[in-house]
Chain A
Amino acid sequence: MIRFNQVSKQYRNDDGVFYALHDVTFQVEEGEIFGIIGMSGAGKTTILKIITGLEVPDSGSVMIGKYHLSTLCSKQWMEYRKSIGVIHQGYHLLMQRTVFQNIAFPLEINHVSKEETQRRVMELLEIVGLVEKAHQYPATLSGGQKQRVAIARALATNPKVLLCDEPTSALDLVTSKGIVSLLQLIRDRFGVSIVLISHELGIIRSLASQVMILDQGKICEVGKTSDVFSNPISLVGKHLLGRG
């Protein structure tokens, strides 16, 4: 579903250029939850920005489903973007729109009819458990509820891939658990592939079938979550997972 092949991305800082991603190769299968962990600045969000097209890699190739990102024209980008849903760390909701209107936004962008939008948004509200909040504004919601709105919005166009950047980092434990089971439900029900970036190891362990550990733009290890967690090979892995 997702294929990164020797992807590198450089940024410039005061000391010159450095690799935010260096020779990164990995694959995410259909319907899989793929965890990414790594210290701050490791390049996790950069991977997400490359998948969403906000950043372009300097070298390497990226395939998402049938889309070869380096070859897309702007019309294909529009089409491709319908096939991915993104949940950002900061929710990124429109504060002057109601919950309903926020979830309807991607449909509006894609000129979906009013009736179809109504039906789809109600269905999504049901899934994320916010039916009674439909006509409230985001400012009146709790963090967990805002995150649910963001998840519903990300699912609106029936994406094949869901990208989650620290979806629970701003939430308390109980609320996080709710979000985790929601993501699980989404995976089971819709068969979407989920890329899950999180520094909360418990969440990765309970959700991800594969995990990748990044450090300074390089992959330290990647493999089955149970293997990596029980027996990390790399120093960074051992350090992050608290083994040795």
Chain B
Amino acid sequence: MGGIESILLKGTIDTLIMVVISLVISYLAGVPLGVLLLISKPSGLHSRKVLYQVLSRVINILRSLPFIILLTILIPFTRFIVGTSIGIVGMIVPLSIAAIPFVARMVEQSLSEVEPELISSMKVIGASTYQIIYKVYLPEALPSLIRGVGITAIALIGYSAMAGATGGGGLGDIAIRYGYYNYRMDIMIYTVIILIILVELIQGITNYVSKKTNHI
């Protein structure tokens, strides 16, 4: 049994590494993009029609591509960036690129829950656009943004499991290789249980933190 345990442990760690790194990258890019969407839209603080339309379209296209297709299309690009298109390193690029537009939309959505009247009265107080973003939008939407982190992380776990089918590493890879090809039903079941636990944990933690930071 020692073999199975270490295989599952390594798979879990690999999955977590993929998810955490992709999560960080997608937020580093997704938050500014979400803010840009928010302020450039027709009712935004700095309406820029063309920019908004282009950005919005590109994001929609990326979001409508099935992950497995995106993964395949990106293989040359992934090789170029990280030198390989397989393993956990090879998965970080497509996972991040799949998550960035997702995060951008979610950030836009969270921030637009802040009431427009509140924003205009902050403008009247004299806040600049920069100050409104950092001191009003982001802090006021923080609980909602944190829930979004949970949703993104869970989506990434799903994608990363799917990536296992293409030699991506992590729990998905183990489920396919041992569980499916080698008829190890036990390993298949264990990976599924671990995935369920991960999802529950992420959901629980982010909900908790979101509640703790919310003063409404």
Q: Return chain A residues, CB-CB under 8 Å to B128.
A: 109
B216-A88 in contact (CB<8A): no
- Please report B residues at the A interface, Cβ cutoff 8 Å: 115, 117-118, 120-128, 131, 135-136, 139-140, 142-143, 213-216
For A87, the closest partner residue in chain B by CB is: B121
B126 near A108 (CB under 8 angstroms)?
no
Q: Which residues of B contact A139 (CB under 8 A)?
A: 215-216
- With a cutoff of 8 Å between Cβ atoms, the chain B residues found around residue A78 in the complex are 126
Inter-subunit contact A109/B126 (CB<8 Å): yes
Residues of B with C-beta under 8 A to A92: 115, 117-118, 121-122
Chain B residues with Cβ below 8 Å from A97 are 139
Cα–Cα, bound, A209→B84 (Å): 78
Within 8 A of B (CB), among A99-114: 105-106, 108-110
Given the known inter-chain contacts A137-B215, A139-B216, please indicate yes or no for A95 contacting B124, CB distance below 8 A: no
Q: Quick one: which of A82, A88, A138, A157 contacts B121, CB cutoff 8 A?
A: A88
CB distance from A99 to the nearest CB of B (A): 11
Q: Contacts of A94 on B, CB cut-off 8 Å?
A: 118, 136, 139-140
Asked whether B127 lies within 8 Å of A95 as measured between CB atoms, the reply is no
How many residues belonging to A are interface residues under a CB distance threshold of 8 Å?
25
State whether the Cβ of A81 lies closer than 8 Å to any Cβ in chain B.
Answer: yes
Pair B124/A81 contact, Cβ less than 8 Å: yes
In angstroms, Cα B188 to Cα A209, docked, is 81
A96–B139 touching, CB < 8 Å: yes
Taking CB atoms, residues of chain B closer than 8 Å to A153 are 125
Within 8 Å CB of A211, what residues of B?
A: none
**Does A52 touch B at the CB level, under 8 Å?**
yes
Within the complex, the shortest CB–CB distance from A101 to chain B, in Å, comes to: 10
**Contacting residues of chain A (157-202) with chain B, CB-CB under 8 angstroms:** 157
Q: Which residues of A contact B122 (CB under 8 A)?
A: 92, 105
Tell whether, in the assembled complex, residue A109 and residue B139 are in contact, meaning their CB atoms are under 8 Å apart: no
Q: Which residues of B contact A95 (CB under 8 A)?
A: 140, 215-216
A129 at interface by CB-CB < 8 Å = no
Query: Given B124, B131, B140, which contacts A53 in the complex, CB threshold below 8 Å?
Result: B124
A171–B118 CA distance with the chains assembled, in angstroms = 20
Q: Nearest Cβ distance between residue A181 and chain B, in whole angstroms? A: 24
18 contacts between A and B (CB under 8 A): A52-B124, A54-B120, A54-B124, A81-B124, A82-B126, A86-B121, A86-B124, A94-B136, A94-B140, A96-B214, A97-B139, A105-B122, A106-B126, A108-B135, A109-B126, A109-B131, A138-B215, A153-B125
How far is B117's CA from A112's CA once the two chains are assembled, in angstroms? 25
